[in-house]
Amino acid sequence: MHALLTVLPLLLILVLLLPPFRFHILVAGLAGGVLAAIVGGLDLGKITHLYLGGLSQMLSIVSVAIFAATAMVLAKLGATQACMKLIQRTFKGRLGLVAAAMVLVQAAAVYVAGCGAANTLVTAPLIYSVVGFVPHVVAGLSIVSGASWATSPASAESAYISKAMNIQPGEYAEFMRPFTIAFWVIGALLAWYGVSRYAAARKIKPGGNGESAGQAGATTDGDGEALGAVARRALPFLLLLLLILIGPPLNRALGVNLFTTVTTPLFVLITAAITARVNPNRMCEMLVDGSVTILRYLFLVGLFLGFINLLGEIGTFKTLASLAGAAPAGLLVVAALIIAFLIAVPSAAYTVAIDALIIPVLAQAGVPVWAFGFVGIAVAQGAMISPAQINVAATAHGFQTDIMRIIRNNLPYMPVALVITMLMAVLFLR
Q: Which pLDDT belongs to residue 226?
A: 74
Q: What is the pLDDT of residue 222?
A: 40
The predicted-structure confidence for 162-210, as pLDDT tens digits, reads as follows 999 999 888 999 999 999 999 999 999 999 999 999 999 999 998 865 4
Neighbours of 126 (CB within 10 A): 26
Q: Distance from first CA to last CA of the chain, Å, rounded?
A: 38
Q: How far is CA 65 from the centre of its chain?
A: 14
Half-sphere exposure of residue 142: CA atoms within 13 angstroms, side-chain side:
38
Helices (H) and strands (E) in the chain, counts: 22, 0
**What does the DSSP 8-state code read for residue 324?**
G
Q: Which of 200, 196, 240, 192 is nearest to 82 (CA)?
A: 240
Q: So what's the pLDDT on residue 219?
A: 39
Contact 116, 98 (CB under 8 A): no
- Is residue 303 within 8 A of residue 109, CB to CB? The reply is no
Taking the C-alpha atoms of residue 100 and residue 136, their distance in angstroms, rounded to an integer, is 11
pLDDT, tens digit, for every residue of 13-25?
A: 989 987 788 888 8
pLDDT score, position 408: 95
Q: Mean pLDDT score of the chain, rounded to an integer?
A: 88
pLDDT of residue 143: 97
pTM given for the model? 0.82
In sequence order, what are the residues at sequence separation of 6 or more whose Cβ sits closer than 8 angstroms to the Cβ of residue 276?
Answer: 77, 78, 79, 233, 236
Q: How far apart are CA 209 and CA 416, in angstroms?
A: 34
Chain centre to alpha carbon of residue 210: 24
Return the closest-CA partner of residue 353 out of 327, 387, 388.
Answer: 388
Whats the size of the chain, residue-wise?
430
Look at residue 405 in the predicted model and tell me its pLDDT. Answer: 95
What does the pLDDT profile of the chain (430 residues) look like in tens digits?
A: 678 899 999 999 989 987 788 888 899 999 999 999 999 999 999 999 999 998 888 888 787 788 888 888 988 898 877 887 887 788 877 899 999 999 998 998 889 778 888 889 888 998 998 899 999 999 999 999 999 999 988 888 998 999 999 998 889 999 999 999 999 999 999 999 999 999 999 999 988 654 433 333 333 344 443 788 889 999 998 898 888 878 888 998 999 999 988 999 999 999 999 999 999 999 999 999 988 878 888 888 889 889 999 999 999 988 888 888 788 867 899 999 999 999 999 888 889 888 988 898 888 888 899 999 999 999 999 999 999 899 999 999 999 999 999 999 999 999 999 999 999 998 886 5
The span from the CA of 177 to the CA of 94, in Å, is: 29
- pLDDT at 212 (0 to 100): 37
Whole-angstrom distance, CA of residue 359 vs CA of residue 381: 16
How many Cβ atoms from other residues are within 10 Å of residue 254's Cβ?
10
- The dihedral through the CA atoms of 81, 82, 87, 92 has a sign that is positive
Is the Cβ–Cβ distance between 401 and 293 less than 8 Å? no
CB 165 within 8 A of CB 246: no
Peptide bond into 20 cis (omega under 30): yes
Q: Check residue 109 and give its pLDDT.
A: 85
Report the C-alpha gap between 219 and 108 in whole angstroms: 30
Q: Which H or E element spans position 230?
A: helix 224-254
Q: Name the nearest CA neighbour of 161 among 199, 182, 206, 152.
A: 152
